[in-house]
Chain A
Amino acid sequence: MSFGKKLRRNIGSFFLGYILIISLIMELPEASAIEHTDSNASVLVVYSSEKNEIDFEQRVLDMALGHFSEDIAYINTSELSEKDLAGVTHLFYYGLMEEKIPEKAAEIITLFDGPTVAIGKNVENLGKKFDFIEMGEEETITEINILNETNKKRIIEPNTILGIDINKEAEVLVEGKGKTGTYPFITQLHDSYYIASDKLIPPYSVYFSQILNQVFNAETSKETPAYLRLEDVHPLADAEGLMEIAEYLKEKNIPYMIAAIPVYTHPETGREYHFHDAPEVLKALQYMQENGGSVILHGYTHQFREDETGEGFEFWDVEHDMPVYHGPDEEPRDKKESDFEKEADYLAYQEENIQYETEYVRNRLTRGVQELTNYGLYPLAFEAPHYTMSQNGYKVVSEHFSTYVGQLQLSDEDWETMESTPYAGKPSILHGMTLLPETIGYVQPDDSNAVEKMMEKAEEHQITEGGMIGGFYHPYLGIDGLKEVVQEMENIPNIDWIDLKELGTEVNVENVSIKGKNGSIQVEVDQIGLMTTSKDFPVYHIKQLIEKVTWGIAGIGGSAVIMFIGYTIFQRPRRRFLTGRVK
């Protein structure tokens, strides 16, 4: 007896151990084509700029570095001290404006023992490490190529680079070609790299990111991660069209994303349409979610003031080109520091603004996720409407979402300063969020070469090995255009369609927590909490029930009709039979 018990217990613990091991294996970070973050890399970016804070260009760099490191710090040249280098594995100098580099800073950089990358201006003052560079005149190039690699040559629009002369020992990694000759674009000597441009945007970005693999000694992926996003799907979308697309992508077995907007605001009537007003669209979305689609939250209304959904900006007051620090009907809160006598007053004013914006963004994200969840749609990522949002806005997003899809607005001054980056990553400006960059744009409705243009960009982005091919499509354009894009994208070698449900994405708002993992969505909802958040939520379920009941009523009514018709028809033969019997 006791032996048997013991055995059973042993078997029990064996199984327990087995399950533990299995789950440990499952817990291991999934090998995915998009994640190459070396968690050990610690990056310090020393920068020169007019303002004593990072701006657009540094953020572009940040996006690129985000693929390789989760730990990126920024410091102005004038403030650099030895202790800033503690634990740093990779050092970057970003010379955006001409400056006299303090001797002390140059000394610190020289003493740093690790890969060091200098970008742009002022390299002649950086100390011994960059002795191999001598600055010359600015040059124009129309072709660019990675030496030692095949198929990396590209014709580009004329672009300037900083002309340099290099030491014979140094190696040219990337070379530009102009009318008057070839020029080194990225050069290397030992652990020192120099980029001969202070612009890291296309067409240079893909080359820069590719060389970063070398800087960080990262192994590149053979796969080309790609995604396709169906954009601006709101309650007034065409349900039939969506279903057609859903069936097509299901048949193709391609995972995809749907950028959903929970509320459509009519520009003329101001009436708001929710998904419960459009049961067919909702059904289509639910179907998509079950068959390869992953919903991402694309704002709550995708508009501000009286704008039309999809057209308007939601998290940016585009009329005043400023963040949303005020209600739609309020005076814009756009005072400058110069409008205040005391700095403290301005800071207090700005603090108030930030607080307002934080609440505004948080409320809309929360409501958006809750509302979709209530419909059984579980957003796994976020994309800001028109990508626009202040840096504080992205920070608020990062508190609720683990994944951001699209481009990023990189300045709080101007919404048009937006950019993408070749690799997925975790840039510091996203505060821990993974960025799935959009790199190939979209099918523009009135451009007959739209798909071609997308594919050109896709080709460009293959310069960066394992770079992301991300684009989107407006479903209202019909299925044919989508088919064209898909067919073209399928020709990309080693294409790997990424699935948000596989990436371990997380979304957390009040009462709702969503995880996309191992191909499925796990949702934790505090139903009572959710239902008491807004009366709209229980009302939806009650309406669902009522509708079912109503169909039930119609069914019973219909059966009775058939029954009574039967009785009536039966009446005549019955009567004849009875009369016969009487006779």
Chain B
Amino acid sequence: MAELLLYTSLFLIWFMLFYHMFLMQGGYLHFLKHPETKRKWDLEPGELPTFSILIPAHNEEVVIEKTLQAMTELDYPKEKLEVILINDNSSDATGKIGEEFAREFPFIKVLHTKPPHAGKGKSGALNQGFKVSSGEIIAVYDADNLPEPEAAYNLALGLNKDEKAGAVVGKFRVLNARKNILTRMINVETLTFQWLAQAGRWFWFKMCTIPGTNFAIRRSILEELGGWDEKALSEDTELSFRVYNLGYYIRFFPEAVTWEQEPENLKVWWKQRTRWARGNEYVIAKYLIGFFKLKNKKIGLDLAYFLFTYLLFFGGILISHAIFVTNIFVDLNLTIGTVSYVLLITGFLLFVTEVLLALSMEKGQLTMKNAAVVVLMYFTYSQLWVILVMYATFLEAKRMIFRQEVKWYKTQRFQQNKPEENITGPVLVPDPPSSEPDTKPRPVLVTRKKKMKERKIK
């Protein structure tokens, strides 16, 4: 019996690891390929569409000023740009700060929502914002995001040049990666997620998941879909599924970069990630039940992926952990032998090499320090995920059984150490090496800016 469970868990885990291997391979190939795509498209970007950016904000006074500042620095024709701050029932200065910007910059608008149409979470706020927006393209940024100046242009470019893309997803980077060990790990995690899961799936299947920020979607699609699902805790995953279902794909375009804050303590991380996990489980349940009604069966791939990740993969890990621990105390008469150790080590090496490969794709990320973080992550951060998914599954199961109302948890933001220096946003060094002054501009960004100007002149 123990043997059967062990092999079942091994196969579940390795099925997943093989899929990850495959995705990582795709991610790497996309990494090699995408600069060329970008280069070609830049030669003929086409007529830029009108572009509405929605920023849902609920009590975001700590970060919103910098975010709006970054919006003002976007390299996008201002007459075609619209930034809508949805001040969703905030009780702090979020609205006030927004109004100040709106007065100065005509393309920034503030939408104040009040109950009963407010405080219903991100989906509700986005739907409100969408109603008042006018752009052909709707982009979403979280209230803590600092998009690079070229981000909006790149998102628009993706949709302009690729008719079949219903949405374009950019890349996000971690603003506070060097803050502490947790943010370092999150940084590693986000990079791996984007190059493995996003880029990999895009390369092989022309699919990727809308991450909730730094993405743009065609207005026509949103209208057809009737906006965001207000019941979904992870409205982004849910929206992705519906976009696929219309027959569009979602393009991963890593040229569009935004910088965002990540939780700086475990408590915030735990709450945020629980929400994501529960949200994804909600989506699995919703689409699994209605799978045969779906038009685009390719969603099955992603659905299966989520199903595997959240239930089977974690189930497999739990069983194998349980067997491992039990076997220390009780002889389970396992005959598996050498191969189990080989698998254990191979699994670990696979994790490390995949993550290091992902890190190597971002300049300056493949460092000894980060390598040590990766090894440490395997034993800490990754294991924490296991517990988290268990917890989320428990909550989600409870909710479904007792038909509880979902409650949105808004991720707590953190005041960055030197806000006055960072306020100018990502044109300055967003991820400053501690030894260097924060104000030193990044050569890469400068080059980009120059290139951008040249393009405009043309």
Cα distance A568–B3 in the bound complex, in angstroms: 37
B343 contact from A546, A557, A575, Cβ within 8 A:
A557
Q: How far is the CA of A279 from the CA of B338 in the complex (A)?
A: 12
A564 engages B343 (CB within 8 Å): no
Q: Which of A550-570 contact B (CB under 8 A)?
A: 550-551, 553-554, 556-558, 560-561, 563-565, 567-568
Q: Are B354 and A564 in contact (CB under 8 A)?
A: yes
Query: B346 an interface residue at 8 Å Cβ cutoff?
Result: yes
In the bound complex, do residue B350 and residue A557 qualify as a contact, i.e. CB atoms below 8 Å apart? yes
A277 at the interface (CB under 8 A from B): yes
Question: A546, B7: Cβ atoms under 8 Å?
Answer: yes
Q: A271-B333, A571-B360, A575-B363 are in contact. Are A561 and B339 (CB under 8 A)?
A: no
Contact (A571, B366) CB under 8 Å given A276-B335, A564-B356: yes
The answer to whether A277 touches B333 (Cβ under 8 A) is: yes
In the complex with contacts A550-B343, A554-B339, A556-B18, A568-B360 CB distance below 8 A: yes
Q: A129–B28 Cα gap in the complex (Å)?
A: 104
* Other-chain contact of B353, A547, A550, A565, A571 (Cβ < 8 Å): A565
Contact partner of B342 (CB less than 8 A), chosen from A276, A554, A571, is: A554
Contact A554 B361 (CB under 8 A): no
Q: What residues of A have a CB within 8 angstroms of the CB of B366 in the complex?
A: 568, 571
Contact A561 to B333, CB < 8 A, known contacts A551-B339, A553-B343? no
Residues of chain B contacted by A556 (CB below 8 angstroms): 18, 21
Residues of A within 8 A of B28 (CB): 567
- Residue on A nearest B3 in the bound complex, by CB: A543
> Does chain A have a CB within 8 A of B347?
yes
B17 interface hit (Cβ, 8 Å):
yes
Inter-chain contact B335/A568, CB cutoff 8 Å: no
Q: How far is the CA of A547 from the CA of B25 in the complex (A)?
A: 27
Q: In the complex the two chains form, what is the Cα distance from A514 to B363 in whole Å?
A: 69
Q: Which residues of A contact B335 (CB under 8 A)?
A: 276-277, 279, 543
B396-439 CB mask vs A (1 if < 8 Å, else 0) is 00000000000000000000000000000000000000000000
Chain A residues closer than 8 Å to B360, beta-carbon distance: 567-568, 571-572
Identify which of residues 139-167 in chain B touch chain A, using a CB-to-CB cut-off of 8 Å.
Answer: none
Minimum CB–CB distance from A264 to chain B (whole Å) comes to 13
B349 contacts across to A, CB distance below 8 A: 557-558, 561
Contacts of B354 in A (CB 8 A): 564
State in angstroms the CA–CA spacing of A412 and B289 once bound together.
Answer: 71
Q: B115 contacts the other chain (Cβ, under 8 Å)?
A: no
**Chain A residue at smallest Cβ distance from B361:** A571
CB contact under 8 A between A564 and B353, given known A550-B10, A551-B339: yes
A458 → chain B closest CB, angstroms: 42
Residues of A close to B7: CB separation below 8 A: 546, 550
Residues of chain B within 8 A of A561, CB atoms compared: 346, 349-350, 353
> Hey, what's the 0/1 contact readout for A13-53 against B, CB within 8 Å counting as 1?
00000000000000000000000000000000000000000
Known contacts being A554-B342, A567-B28, is A279 close to B337, with CB within 8 Å? Answer: yes
B29's nearest neighbour on chain A, judged by CB, is: A567
A550→B347 contact, CB < 8 A: no
A62 smallest CB distance to B (angstroms) = 46
Report the Cα distance A563→B361, complex, angstroms: 15
Query: Is B101 on the interface with A (CB-CB < 8 A)?
Result: no
With A550-B339, A564-B354: A557-B24 Cβ-Cβ less than 8 Å: no
B357 within 8 A of A: yes
Cβ-closest chain B residue relative to A563: B25
| A547 and B339 contacting across the interface, CB-CB below 8 Å | yes
Check B193 for interface membership: any CB of A closer than 8 A.
Answer: no
Chain A proximity mask over B359-381: 1 for CB below 8 Å, otherwise 0 = 01101001000000000000000
Write the A266-277 contact mask toward B (1 if CB under 8 angstroms, else 0). Answer: 000001000011
Taking CB atoms, residues of chain A closer than 8 Å to B24 are 560, 564
| Contact of B346 with A558 in the complex, beta carbons under 8 Å | yes
Minimum CB–CB distance for B4 against chain A, Å: 9
B14 contacts which of A543, A553, A572 (Cβ < 8 Å)? A553
Assembly CA distance A571 to B21 (angstroms): 18
Bound-complex Cα distance A347 to B288 (A): 71
Residue ID in chain A nearest B13 by CB atoms: A553
Of the candidates B10, B333, B356, which one forms a contact with A568 in the assembled complex, judged by CB atoms under 8 Å apart?
A: B356
**Contact indicator B14/A557 (Cβ below 8 Å):** yes
CB-CB < 8 A to A277: which residues of B? 333, 335
Which A residues are CB-close (under 8 A) to B333? 271, 277
A201-218 CB mask vs B (1 if < 8 Å, else 0) is 000000000000000000
> Which one of B3, B21, B343, B353 contacts A554 once the chains associate, using CB atoms below 8 Å?
B343
A271–B335 CA distance with the chains assembled, in angstroms: 14
User: Closest CB of chain B to A274's CB: distance in Å?
Assistant: 10
A81 vs B37: C-alpha distance in the bound complex, in angstroms?
111
Bound form: Cα–Cα A322–B363 in Å: 84
Q: Is there an interface contact between A560 and B343, defined as CB atoms closer than 8 Å?
A: no
A557 lies within 8 A of B17 (CB): yes
Cα–Cα, bound, A563→B356 (Å): 12
Q: Tell me the minimal C-beta distance from A324 to chain B in angstroms.
A: 28
Interchain CA distance A551-B349 in the complex, whole Å:
16
A547 to chain B, nearest CB (A): 7
Cα–Cα distance between A563 and B21 once the two chains are bound (Å): 10
Complex CA–CA separation, A546 to B343 (angstroms) = 14
Q: What residues of chain A lie closer than 8 Å to B346, measured between beta carbons?
A: 554, 557-558, 561
Q: Which residues of A contact B342 (CB under 8 A)?
A: 551, 554
**Bound state CA distance, A546 and B8, in angstroms?**
10
The smallest C-beta distance from A541 to any residue of chain B, in angstroms, reads: 14
A 251-293 to B, binary, CB cutoff 8 A, 1 in contact else 0: 0000000000000000000010000110100000000000000
B69-104 to A contact mask, C-beta < 8 Å, 1/0: 000000000000000000000000000000000000
Whole-angstrom CA separation of A163 from B3 in the bound complex: 72
On chain A, the residues within 8 Å of B361 by CB distance are: 571
Which residues of A are found within 8 Å of B343, using beta-carbon distances?
550, 553-554, 557
A554, A556, A558, most chain B CB atoms within 10 A: A554
CA A295 to CA B455, docked complex, whole Å: 84
Complex formed: what's the CA distance from A546 to B360 in Å? 36
A283 to B: closest C-beta gap in Å: 12
Report the Cα distance A547→B363, complex, angstroms: 42
B347, A557: Cβ atoms closer than 8 Å: yes
Cβ–Cβ contact B347 & A568, under 8 A: no
Report the minimum CB–CB distance from B35 to chain A (whole Å). 8
Q: Identify which of A271, A277, A546, A564 gathers the most chain B CB atoms within 10 Å of its CB.
A: A564
CA distance A563 to B22 in the complex (A): 12
Measured in the bound complex, the distance between the Cα atoms of B349 and A279 in whole Å is 28
* Identity of the chain A residue whose Cβ is nearest the Cβ of B344 in the assembled complex: A554
Report chain B residues within 8 Å CB of A557.
14, 17-18, 21, 343, 346-347, 349-350
User: Smallest distance from the beta carbon of B27 to chain A beta carbons, Å?
Assistant: 10
A242–B21 alpha-carbon span in the complex (Å):
42
What is B's interface to A at a CB cutoff of 8 Å? 3, 7, 10, 14, 17-18, 21, 24-25, 28, 333, 335-337, 339, 342-343, 346-347, 349-350, 353-354, 356-357, 360-361, 363, 366
In the assembled complex, 25 residue pairs joining A and B whose CB atoms fall closer than 8 Å, in A order, are A276-B335, A277-B333, A279-B337, A543-B335, A547-B336, A547-B339, A550-B7, A550-B10, A553-B18, A554-B342, A554-B346, A556-B18, A557-B21, A557-B346, A557-B350, A560-B21, A561-B346, A564-B24, A564-B356, A564-B357, A567-B357, A568-B356, A571-B360, A571-B361, A575-B363
Binding site for B on A (CB under 8 A): 271, 276-277, 279, 543, 546-547, 550-551, 553-554, 556-558, 560-561, 563-565, 567-568, 571-572, 575
Given contacts A554-B339, A561-B350, 12 further A-B contacts (CB under 8 A): A547-B339, A550-B10, A551-B339, A561-B349, A561-B353, A564-B353, A564-B354, A564-B356, A567-B357, A568-B356, A568-B357, A571-B366
| 5 residue pairs, one from A and one from B, having the closest CB atoms | A564-B353, A557-B346, A571-B360, A560-B21, A554-B342
